A and B are shown apart, each in its own frame.
Chain A
Amino acid sequence: MHSGGIWGFILRRVLLGLLVLVIVSVLVFAATQALPGDPARAILGRDATPTSLAALRAKLHLGQPVLQQYWTWVTGLLHGDMGNSLANQEPVSTYLRPLLINSAFLVFLSGIISIPLAIGIGAYAAVRRDKAFDVSSSILTLLLAALPEFVVGVGLVVIFATVVFQVLPAVAQIPPGGRPWDDLNGMVLPVVTLVIAVTPYVARIMRASMIEVLESDYVEMARLKGLDESTVIVRHALPNALGPTFQVIAINLAYLAGGVIVVEYVFNFPGIGGALVDGVNNRDLPVVQALAMLIATLYVVLNLTADIATILVTPRMRTTL
């Protein structure tokens, strides 16, 4: 049906990803246009003076035709110029850069802990299928997967930081100019919250994938050759079971990028999530638009990587292209 083999597939995926991003940018831009009436008045409120209204209109390029406004905005984005924050007058990029580093560190820590943990739990549960570990881990992952992140976060605060025990800080505040790795104690609860949000899902997919591999002919063959069970699992089963998991890992890293929004708010963590919530509260559209584009780009890139990685590590998929 399709042609071009694996490179054609990759090219098509990349082009589709770009197309999605262009449409996303139009939608995000249209969000400004959707403000009822005069956007400047909608942002500044009823008490705005004519001078401030005129200044804001000029800043938002409201005098220009819509297409030109879009073009100015998009080319600015591509050059790293995301406009000025309406709330604090700073350039959005200057405002967001330190927050982005903080959030990236939070996501990095959560990812580096949750991914091996999930693969380990899923693979071991599959090997011990229907035994105590499998049954208990599958019930636990099922229950945890259902909980919203903020409920997990607030629950952890109640248990470990305030009401029951007081062993960990309830907030992860970073002084201005400070770095998140200066106070790792404060990072514990936010990271644990995100790990709890992501691990169950990946562990369940890993378990299913591993079970399928363990029942396959080549694993049976390896066993019949007389290889000992640990070699069979580590050398033959695990690498093959990881294929579908790649996709899930990428989706979950992307999910972490969304999950930080609420989790950062729970712990007063100074990151892009907090900035987004503030931006929505203040109707600081340049900040909201920049963050929406940033997170959407991350999402599309991660999904693209996952699709390509899955094809590369799963030879039988290549024939179905």
Chain B
Amino acid sequence: MSVVTDIAITPEPESLTTTSRRSGSVLRDALRLWRTRIGLVLVLGLTLLAGAGPFFAPHSPTDFAGPPFSNPSSAARFGTDYLGQDVLSRFLWGGREILVMAVLATAFGIILGAIVGLLAAYSRNWLDDVLMRGMDVILAFPQIMLALVAIATVGPKPWLIVLAVGLTTLPRVARVTRGAAQPIVARDFVASAEALGVPRIRILGRELLPNILSPLMVEVSLRLTYSIGLIAGLAFLGFATSTNGANWGTMINQNRVAVQAQPWGVVLPVIAIALLTIGTGLVGDGISRAAAGIDRGRSTG
């Protein structure tokens, strides 16, 4: 009955034809595509910027460096922000929080989503129905809506934002995992493992999981893309861990009133978030193409 829904939820059309190719060879194929390479360079570059940036910041992100919204000078290379803080330093500090939270939220969603999806596909009984209807409940909210309801109740705590974003990622991953695992559950080697009395947990982990790694890797990059957008977006709406924290989303919100006079406080973080999400998006598309066997052996793409 949920055949229809599963097809539509699968994010990339290409992954519909995903077969159970070995994940290692999929990754190798993906790396032959230019889009994967460019994406990887972007992701690694921005991760480096976000991780190592604070060590190169000329000022502390909250130090007073000049009059508010002043133009670039030798003291502040990219000018100052709405409180007179150094834009460059805040920019170098501003990616860390987003990236750490997005990675944690994605990991949470992927791990639990894969477990739920595998259990549902393997059980083939009432458990399948109960689990997937439970997923439907979470899917009834847009991702940002659920995060906002949680924040309205408890406040913008970092663990809460990670939990809310991870929780809304979960059902989306579970659907893809279940869809990918269902044809595998029906195959002979699963039945023979059952006949041999292999414990259920080993069937899930050793027989099913390795066969759905490719769609799962596509999900990792896709969900990471959305998690980064969501967490930066929540900061942009004013719901970051601290109201004056150095965070790319917060920076955009704080400095956009004077974007015409002093654009750097907005332009730098906008470009950084854009390049980061484009990078994770490109990597995901590359893996998805390699998994579907598209462009195999071709170096263009």
The chain A residues found within 8 Å of chain B, CB to CB, are 2, 9, 12, 16, 19-21, 23-24, 27-28, 31-32, 34-36, 142-143, 145-151, 154-155, 157-158, 162-163, 204-205, 207-209, 244, 247-248, 251, 254-255, 257-259, 261-262, 265, 276-277, 279-281, 283, 285, 288, 291-292, 295-296, 299-300, 303, 306-307, 310-311, 317, 320-321
With A21-B140, A208-B16 as given contacts, are A31 and B152 in contact (CB-CB < 8 Å)? Answer: yes
Which residues of A have CB within 8 Å of B236? Answer: 150, 262, 265
With A142-B282, A204-B12, A306-B8 as given contacts, are A163 and B143 in contact (CB-CB < 8 Å)? Answer: no
B16 to chain A: closest residue by CB: A208
| B84 touches A (CB below 8 Å) | no
Which residues of A have CB within 8 Å of B153? Answer: 31-32, 34-35, 285
With A158-B267, A258-B145, A276-B148 as given contacts, are A147 and B233 in contact (CB-CB < 8 Å)? Answer: no
Which residues of B have CB within 8 Å of A207? Answer: 13
With A277-B237, A307-B5 as given contacts, are A146 and B148 in contact (CB-CB < 8 Å)? Answer: no
| B104 touches A (CB below 8 Å) | no
Which residues of B have CB within 8 Å of A157? Answer: 256, 259
B263 to chain A: closest residue by CB: A163
Interface residue stretch chosen among B22-30, B107-115, B211-219, B222-230: B222-230
Cα distance A288–B10 in the bound complex, in angstroms: 30
Interface residue stretch chosen among B53-61, B173-181, B186-194, B270-278: B270-278
Tell me whether chain A's interface is mostly helix, strand or loop, or mixed.
Answer: helix
Contact A208 B13 (CB under 8 A): yes
Cα distance A255–B139 in the bound complex, in angstroms: 11
Query: 28 A-B Cβ contacts within 8 A?
Result: A16-B136, A20-B140, A28-B149, A31-B149, A31-B150, A36-B154, A142-B282, A142-B285, A146-B225, A146-B282, A147-B229, A147-B277, A150-B229, A150-B233, A151-B277, A154-B256, A158-B263, A158-B270, A247-B8, A258-B142, A258-B144, A261-B142, A276-B148, A292-B141, A292-B149, A296-B140, A310-B4, A321-B1
19 other contacts beyond A143-B281, A143-B282, A208-B16, with CB at 8 A cut-off? A21-B140, A146-B280, A149-B233, A150-B233, A157-B259, A158-B266, A204-B13, A208-B14, A255-B142, A258-B142, A262-B236, A265-B236, A280-B151, A280-B152, A288-B148, A288-B149, A292-B149, A296-B145, A306-B8
Which residues of B have CB within 8 Å of A21? Answer: 140
| B73 touches A (CB below 8 Å) | no
B9 to chain A: closest residue by CB: A251
| B200 touches A (CB below 8 Å) | no
Rounded to whole Å, the gap between the CB of A175 and the closest CB of chain B is 21
A245 to chain B: closest residue by CB: B8
Interface residues on B, range: 35 or more
- Which of A150, A205, A295 has a CB less than 8 Å from the CB of B145? A295
Cα distance A300–B266 in the bound complex, in angstroms: 37
Rounded to whole Å, the gap between the CB of B300 and the closest CB of chain A is 10
Contact A299 B142 (CB under 8 A): yes
* CB-contacts of B81-111 with A (<8 A): none
| B238 touches A (CB below 8 Å) | yes
| B131 touches A (CB below 8 Å) | no
* CB-contacts of B32-52 with A (<8 A): 35
Cα distance A280–B164 in the bound complex, in angstroms: 15
B134 to chain A: closest residue by CB: A23
With A158-B263, A261-B144 as given contacts, are A146 and B281 in contact (CB-CB < 8 Å)? Answer: yes
Contact A23 B137 (CB under 8 A): yes
Rounded to whole Å, the gap between the CB of A15 and the closest CB of chain B is 11
Cα distance A265–B253 in the bound complex, in angstroms: 10
With A28-B149, A204-B12 as given contacts, are A280 and B133 in contact (CB-CB < 8 Å)? Answer: no
| B201 touches A (CB below 8 Å) | no
Cα distance A143–B284 in the bound complex, in angstroms: 11
| B196 touches A (CB below 8 Å) | no
Which residues of B have CB within 8 Å of A146? Answer: 225, 277-278, 280-282
Q: Most B CB atoms within 10 A — which of A34, A280, A306?
A: A280
A211 to chain B: closest residue by CB: B13
| B232 touches A (CB below 8 Å) | yes
- Which of A142, A154, A311 has a CB less than 8 Å from the CB of B252? A154
Cα distance A310–B280 in the bound complex, in angstroms: 32
- Which of B133, B145, B282 has a CB less than 8 Å from the CB of A261? B145
Q: Most A CB atoms within 10 A — which of B14, B153, B267?
A: B153
Which residues of B have CB within 8 Å of A154? Answer: 252, 256, 266, 270
Contact B4 A317 (CB under 8 A): yes
Which residues of B have CB within 8 Å of A254? Answer: 142
| B7 touches A (CB below 8 Å) | yes
With A251-B8, A277-B237, A300-B140 as given contacts, are A155 and B270 in contact (CB-CB < 8 Å)? Answer: yes
- Which of A143, A209, A276 has a CB less than 8 Å from the CB of B13? A209
Which residues of B have CB within 8 Å of A208? Answer: 13-14, 16
| B3 touches A (CB below 8 Å) | yes
Cα distance A28–B146 in the bound complex, in angstroms: 9
| B69 touches A (CB below 8 Å) | no
Contact A158 B230 (CB under 8 A): no
Rounded to whole Å, the gap between the CB of A264 and the closest CB of chain B is 11
Rounded to whole Å, the gap between the CB of A155 and the closest CB of chain B is 6
Cα distance A35–B152 in the bound complex, in angstroms: 9
Contact A150 B252 (CB under 8 A): yes
Cα distance A148–B280 in the bound complex, in angstroms: 12
Contact A311 B4 (CB under 8 A): yes
Which residues of A have CB within 8 Å of B78? Answer: none
Cα distance A234–B138 in the bound complex, in angstroms: 39
Rounded to whole Å, the gap between the CB of A168 and the closest CB of chain B is 13
Q: Most B CB atoms within 10 A — which of A34, A147, A207, A248?
A: A147
